[in-house]
A and B are shown apart, each in its own frame.
Chain A
């Protein structure tokens, strides 16, 4: 039986999913796991959605997963949680940033943003919901929202205490290290 775990990070271009997944995969590699990561970001800068898949275990083959295979999804935005929910294993968990970014048809008023996403998903699977953007903002740097969510992910996955903070330092400019480490800790404390 394979011991491979699957993580899916989904969001909207510019939310920092790529940095979060970089830190995550480096940490897992340092901890001795085989790791593969795949991202689709072709048009993310133009307002499209982004998805990053990370798989780790003693030996990983495919860098991508199919529907029903994610052990955990971290949705950086609510509607993206809905878009990708079919990829979650029914026994899996989902971390949702309670934030709403309307897509173009919603902005133009030709489609409406779906309501009650969190309520519905909370009934179906283990769900951790909080306003990561507000947590980051209260620490003084709204951009560190991605590290808040990374902290929550690490806690929710029960990942071994890898030297995450050193890896964060390795990937972030000195001036922003402290605030991002605080964000990472704050994210961990959101998951009990």
Chain B
């Protein structure tokens, strides 16, 4: 049966058809829907959200060693977190086939950088496949499991946003059950002591030679000859763009396997065409290897090295032509994402934005939007879990150099579980004094409400134990009197906690809990929080148009000649009501 599916659906389907038994991931755009789709097959396989990508990959490694096909999926920056096990896993190889999906984000649609993870394949020496549409995403996923077992290596399936989130037609096939491989202890293979590691390192050289030989004969590395004038080497989404730009008269070498590169095939192709282009997104990954082999080609001299490609950009780079367009004199006003109406983070950031002489270290999640005007209450954001450690270092630096600037680290619940806990341990152990704020919105918000160790549910929909965040902080060593549990929609309470915490010399934690305004509330949420639906309204007689409410940045508030609250958008969170100096705002039930 044919079906329109996204690349992420196709990867999930491919893994299912390949007899996958175990999958794990941490959510991250554009990879999130792979595991969400896999959970649709939960009667026949097992899948879970891990607290971070390292845990996800390590669990998939364990499942492979135990003799089943396994998969870990993550966004490009997640592979940084998982890189530690990855490099050694390349040495040990697998028992059951194991696939690591790396979903890169050229153009940074939803990421803090646009690193090119093809470089991980060469650095870690793992076989890499790059599909160019959904049909290939499904087929290559199945192939990846076979190659993983044949060459005794983890396989990286490298995709990009346009593969993950584009739909094209794919053919559904049946699941092949793969019986588990009998378990036997194999110390020489799986215990990576230096002595074993060096033997494995040598054997990796031989395995890589076998992989390269395969790459040269692989069906997915395919030349399409249409004349000898122009040849184009490409892979992934860039292949589709190149086909549109160079058309039917050019020859193509379309690579589905890009590590190890099929150098013999490339030499043969290069010898048959007069002008050779390498069209690839982001880094000159293929180009550098081709040029290192002494083959002349045109690549990043003309093709942009950053931001997402599209046919138009390539056409302009290669032929200097631009399509005719319709131009307007007018300018559309930007439409930046904002904290939603009713977002519990708004109250907290509003209170924090009023504090003076404070450095605020932020983290990755919806709350990074607290950095946007009008709240602008954030100084740094680097990576998942980085807020507390960066805050700790900054606080130490201020103190060591005799400055009294206070540091507040802001992190979400899921990000705290991801990699904030060890940082908090560091603050306690090394007698730091930054204020850690855990914005606990009871979900993984930005990626679309995935379950996490604090939500009480698993990916497969089963009830789970919830992490008790204050108790966890206590166990690490935060004193009872230094832990504040607050409702971030109560400005008075939040302010009081912030003021007290910022006065203390010891490390403090503020746990600001309220469910995300746009999530589906769980039974637990309904029991614990007062989630009554109500609205706020402005009494136009009392309103002096001071715009204090507008400065909360709530998207439900319209500022014009009159200040209005749009009832269809308002959730009654009451932040505007609390900041109004003229008591002009009230509830309507």
Residues of A within 8 A of B (CB): 2, 12, 22, 25-26, 29, 34-49, 60-69, 79-80, 82-83, 85-90, 92, 102-109, 111-114, 116-117, 120-121, 124-125
Contact = CB atoms under 8 A, between A and B. Distances in A.
Contacts of B244: 2, 61-62
A37 to B, nearest CB: 4
Contacts of A36: 133, 166-168
Contacts of A47: 335-338, 340, 555
Contacts of B313: 66
B162 A38 contact: yes
B378 to A, nearest CB: 16
Among A42, A85, A117, A124: residue with most chain B CB under 10 A: A42
Contacts of B296: none
Contact of B334 (A40, A62, A103): A103
A13 B2 CA distance: 29
A62 B328 contact: no
B325 A40 contact: no
Interface stretch (B150-158, B187-195, B557-565): B557-565
B243 A62 contact: yes
Among A41, A61, A112, A116: residue with most chain B CB under 10 A: A61
Interface residues of B, number: 60
Interface string B222-260: 000000000000000101110110000000000000000
A144 to B, nearest CB: 16
Contacts of B328: 82, 85-86, 117, 120-121, 124
Contacts of A79: 332-333, 335
Chain B interface, >50% SS class: loop
Contacts of B558: 102, 107
B553 A103 contact: no
B162 A34 contact: no
A109 to B, nearest CB: 4
25 contacts: A25-B167, A42-B29, A42-B110, A43-B110, A46-B338, A47-B335, A48-B335, A49-B335, A61-B239, A61-B241, A61-B244, A66-B311, A66-B312, A66-B323, A67-B325, A68-B324, A82-B331, A82-B332, A85-B326, A86-B325, A104-B335, A107-B557, A108-B559, A112-B333, A121-B328
Contacts of B446: 43
B518 A48 contact: no
A49 B479 CA distance: 45
A65 B110 contact: no
A87 B325 contact: yes
Nearest to A91: B324
Contact of A37 (B166, B330, B366): B166
Nearest to A43: B337
Contact of A109 (B243, B325, B366, B550): B550
B83 to A, nearest CB: 24
B333 A68 contact: no
Nearest to A38: B166
A43 B374 CA distance: 19
Interface in B101-129: 109-110
Nearest to A21: B167
Contact of B165 (A2, A40, A103, A113): A40
Chain A interface, >50% SS class: mixed
Among all A-B residue pairs, the 4 with the closest Cβ atoms: A66-B312, A68-B323, A42-B110, A46-B337
Contact of A25 (B4, B312, B332, B555): B4
B338 A109 contact: no
Contacts of B557: 107
A71 B557 CA distance: 37
A130 B334 CA distance: 24
Contact of A114 (B110, B162, B240, B330): B330
A65 B312 contact: yes
B421 interface: no
B241 A86 contact: no
Contact of B325 (A49, A62, A90): A90
Contact of A120 (B30, B322, B329, B374): B329
A166 to B, nearest CB: 16
Contacts of A26: 4
Contacts of A117: 328, 330
A72 to B, nearest CB: 12
A35 B337 contact: no
Contacts of A63: 133, 162, 166-168, 237, 240
A86 B167 contact: no
Contacts of B167: 25, 35-38, 63
Contacts of B331: 82, 114
Given A40-B109, A62-B310, A46 B547 contact: no
Contacts of A89: 323-324
B322 A68 contact: yes
Nearest to B332: A83
B169 A86 contact: no
Contacts of A120: 328-330
Contact of A104 (B243, B324, B555): B555
Nearest to A64: B310
Contact of A108 (B29, B324, B374): B374
A10 to B, nearest CB: 10
B25 interface: no
Given A26-B4, A66-B312, A46 B339 contact: yes
Contact of A29 (B4, B133, B373, B448): B4
Contacts of B374: 108
A61 B337 contact: no
B321 to A, nearest CB: 11
